[in-house]
Structure 1
Amino acid sequence: MAASAAAATVAVFGLAAVAPAQAATANGTTSYHQQCPQAPVGSASCMALKRTDVKPQLAHSGATPLATVSGYGPSQLQSAYNLASAAASNGGGETVAVVDAYDYPSAQSDLNAYRSQFGLPACGSGCFTKINENGATSPLPSPAPASDDWTGEEALDIDMVSAICPNCHIILAEASSESNDDLGKAVNAAVNAGAKFVSNSYGGSEDSTDTTYDTEYYDHPGVAVTVSSGDSGYGVEYPAASQYVTAVGGTALNTASNSRGWSESVWSTSSSEGAGSGCSAYDPKPSWQTDTGCSKRTVADVSAVADPATGVAVYDTYNNNGGWNVYGGTSVASPLIAAVYALAGNPAAGTNPASYLYQHTSALNDVTSGKTATCSPAYLCTAETGYDGPTGLGTPNGITAFQSGSSTG
């Protein structure tokens, strides 16, 4: 069932309040906080940003959806990215994995509530699976602590896959910790479990050892591995910098009176909050990336909604998260893009699916306004016609750009 048959409406965005971070919007001031604290060297932080000015609410105990929930739901996201037709008919038999740290005990019941609210088909046994970093269904890691609450990230990830690809199966691969090695092992476990699409909404500072992690954990030809570009504005994080992944930047997504019905600009709240982008210090440039202002890997490749002020509805009851919340961050964009790849079908064997985007540039929505900083060359932090750092080649306009094969662009 397509999400356009949503069982309830979505109220977009809420009330003003004081919180650790704020963003001015046409509807007032939004406030939000980072779901995970900054991780030490050798580890990664989740990129989820939870709105603190939207009061959480629990789903009904029965099957009746709530009248409204805040944030974009499946029908809005599918409309914005021209995916409704593909979402209704594609994705059956495809498996999307999301990689996170720690266990999320209420994942199945929370996912059920999300899908029920929006009229999506149920995703129970055989459709939704949790595995540990070794690929086994038990034992699962310790639950995420409230002080480092990856469950919000995990809920966001599985809900975004559901929103874009309702017919896809979902694997939640749970690493024992947020160390680079544990998260990397969970990536390998997800691929070994059969996932052809693996989303990673986490990152940390670059390091000279990153190229070793590349070959150990992220080099999976024929698998679309997507990674959030970061939420700290101009600057590169790893593993988004890996030459083997699709680095996913972020936009602010708003309704508009144009033919598309939507408009997008670079997500930037402040000089230290916005879509990550830039020139890697260590990772080599992939052969399919041809921009001339960076001799190494340039971040990002593609983008999708990430601004908390234009965030998405997510359901999470664990750690007193209270049910329905609104989330932003490039954590939204990575699983969304992984699910678009799934709608487009299995990648060709031996290929890097990030390269497909560069062969189909005309099949993306080019984002040409907004910036995160002042930098040189300017395209590394400023939206331009064609490729730029914060939004890559643009945002999805259907599934063509995510399919193997070449076309003019």
Structure 2
Amino acid sequence: MRRSLSPTAPAAIVAATALALATPLAQAAAPSPSAHVAIARSCAAPTRVDDMACKALKVTGGKVASADAERALTAAAAPSGYGPASLQAAYKLPSSTAGSGRTVAIVDAYDDPKAESDLATYRAQYGLAACTTANGCFRKVGQSGTSKLPRADAGWAEEISLDLDMVSAACPNCKILLVEATTSSMTNLGTAVNTAVSLGAKYVSNSYGGGESSADSSYDTTYFNHPGVAITVSSGDGGYGVEYPAASRYVTAVGGTSLNTASNSRGWTDSVWSGAGSGCSGYDAKPSWQKDTGCAKRTVADVSAVADPQTGVAVYDTYGQDTGWEVFGGTSASSPLIAAVYALAGAPSQGSTPASFPYAHTGSLNDVTSGSNGSCSPAYLCQGGSGYDGPSGLGTPNGTAAFTG
């Protein structure tokens, strides 16, 4: 199994500010196990402050629980793993005309030369309308917003394919802007976030993370303070523990669940995925809209969606040694899904903080009451339970009402 190693960006900002890690980088060194399947990390774990790793987890062996779910809903679905019909049904998402004309931005590092062609195959497989550069639906730019792209990287290409496919699955009518950072440093990825917003995106997904540091408050104001823009970030795949930029008070931190079909009225059930990141930030202040009492600073996560590789999603990727259809998990799947749900819900009001919206609409989410991602005190920071908990936040989407404001 190939694992792609991304080069580490210059760390001048680290030396200049003498950053101190709050969460050891080694914490994220190995993906959390998922029963019955073998998984591999698409991107190498960070080894330095300011370096980020993508959160995509690829299933490399075994049969996932989601293998046949999509086939039961639509004859168009041959690949293993959840596809658009399953995800729209599980989260009660509108799929006919909702999201039309709205742009979801995907921020990742390095280039995926096959991004557009692989996206075309994914969408054709599930009967979704074409989303291409030619028809104005898809656009790919470098971190400064120009046609100058970074060098290609096979591991991050897997992440890019996952992100593009999840936005397509949840919001087939949305436009997609892919902004590729020059390297996986926070400074370059943050610059790409600013570019996405400057190009008009009101919904920006970030499926990467690294250790917290004393520079995070500076990163917050420089890259993530965009009122009226919904910015989602993966909470991490190493179980209990906090990563940045999920800890930013300006973003929606997206945790992870195991999603399974069920005989209940909803037809689906969620439980906390053991790999979902959660906990108390060591640096970021608690936002006013977050009211839990067991954490004096920012608590991760806010909401969640499917991330367990055992109940993984179908992805099409052909760059590097990848040959096509694969199954992926990780909070890299949940972040773009939630960004797309924000897009379905409509443009955030001017000057608003979209991360606060779910806290005003808790009744419009599926509460996740079981499962855990580790041991902690107080227990809600790492265990599913009634109401708010760390790994799943306030819950998973039940329509789009919780993402309006």
Q: Into which bin does the TM-score normalised by the smaller protein fall?
A: 0.7 to 0.9
Judging changes above 3 Å, is the alpha-carbon distance between structure 1 residues 21 and 392 closer, same or farther for their aligned structure 2 residues?
closer
Equivalence for 2:119: 111
Partner letter of residue 107 of structure 2? Answer: V
In the aligned structure 2, how far is the partner of 1:76 from the partner of 1:322? 24
Equivalence for 1:131: 141
Structure 2 counterpart SS, 1:70: coil
Judging changes above 3 Å, is the alpha-carbon distance between structure 1 residues 255 and 67 closer, same or farther for their aligned structure 2 residues?
closer
Work out which of the residue numbers 218, 227, 231 in structure 2 matches 1:221: 227
Structure 1: tracts of 5 or more residues without a match: 1-18, 56-64, 269-273, 405-409
Equivalence for 1:371: 372
Equivalence for 1:23: 34
Equivalence for 2:102: 94
Partner letter of residue 79 of structure 1? Answer: A
> What aligned pairs does 1:228-267 form with structure 2 within 5 A after superposition?
228-267=234-273
Equivalence for 2:53: 45
Equivalence for 1:33: 40
Once the 2 structures are TM-superposed, how far is the Cα of residue 66 of structure 1 from its aligned partner?
A: 7.6
Matched, 1:72 2:79: no
In the aligned structure 2, how far is the partner of 1:267 from the partner of 1:234? 11
Judging changes above 3 Å, is the alpha-carbon distance between structure 1 residues 181 and 217 closer, same or farther for their aligned structure 2 residues?
same
Which segment is superposed worse, 33-42 or 278-287?
A: 33-42
Once the 2 structures are TM-superposed, how far is the Cα of residue 373 of structure 1 from its aligned partner?
A: 1.3
In the aligned structure 1, how far is the partner of 2:107 from the partner of 2:141? 10
Structure 2 counterpart SS, 1:253: strand
Structure 2 counterpart SS, 1:237: coil
Equivalence for 1:388: 389
In the aligned structure 1, how far is the partner of 2:110 from the partner of 2:232? 20
Equivalence for 2:130: 122
Per-residue displacement from partner, 1:33-91 (whole Å, max 9, x unpaired)? Answer: 00001112211000000000169xxxxxxxxx9862110000000000011xx221211
In the aligned structure 1, how far is the partner of 2:240 from the partner of 2:384? 12
Task: Check whether the contact 1:304–1:395 (CA below 8 A) recurs between aligned residues.
Answer: yes
Per-residue displacement from partner, 1:153-202 (whole Å, max 9, x unpaired)? Answer: 00000000000000000001000000010000000000001000000000
How many residue pairs end up in the alignment? 362
> What aligned pairs does 1:338-357 form with structure 2 within 5 A after superposition?
338-357=339-358
Once the 2 structures are TM-superposed, how far is the Cα of residue 21 of structure 1 from its aligned partner?
A: 6.9
> What aligned pairs does 1:169-208 form with structure 2 within 5 A after superposition?
169-208=175-214
Task: Check whether the contact 2:32–2:239 (CA below 8 A) recurs between aligned residues.
Answer: no
Task: Check whether the contact 2:77–2:126 (CA below 8 A) recurs between aligned residues.
Answer: no
Partner letter of residue 149 of structure 2? Answer: L
Partner letter of residue 34 of structure 2? Answer: A
Once the 2 structures are TM-superposed, how far is the Cα of residue 252 of structure 1 from its aligned partner?
A: 0.2
Once the 2 structures are TM-superposed, how far is the Cα of residue 23 of structure 1 from its aligned partner?
A: 2.6
In the aligned structure 1, how far is the partner of 2:341 from the partner of 2:305? 11
> Which structure: greater strand fraction?
1
Equivalence for 1:8: none
Per-residue displacement from partner, 1:259-313 (whole Å, max 9, x unpaired)? Answer: 0000110001xxxxx0000000000000100001111000000000000000000
TM-score when scaled to structure 2?
Answer: 0.88
Equivalence for 2:300: 299
Partner letter of residue 226 of structure 1? Answer: T
Which segment is superposed worse, 256-265 or 86-95?
A: 86-95
In the aligned structure 2, how far is the partner of 1:51 from the partner of 1:258? 28
Per-residue displacement from partner, 1:330-357 (whole Å, max 9, x unpaired)? Answer: 0000000000000000000101101110
Equivalence for 1:271: none
Work out which of the residue numbers 135, 151, 163 in structure 2 matches 1:142: 151
Identity of aligned residues (%): 64
Task: Check whether the contact 2:141–2:179 (CA below 8 A) recurs between aligned residues.
Answer: yes
Instruction: Provide the alpha-carbon RMSD of the alignment.
Output: 1.4
Structure 2: tracts of 5 or more residues without a match: 1-29, 64-74
Structure 1 counterpart SS, 2:132: coil
Structure 2 counterpart SS, 1:238: coil
Equivalence for 1:166: 172
Partner letter of residue 292 of structure 1? Answer: T
Structure 2 counterpart SS, 1:195: coil
Task: Check whether the contact 1:31–1:51 (CA below 8 A) recurs between aligned residues.
Answer: yes
Structure 1 counterpart SS, 2:264: coil
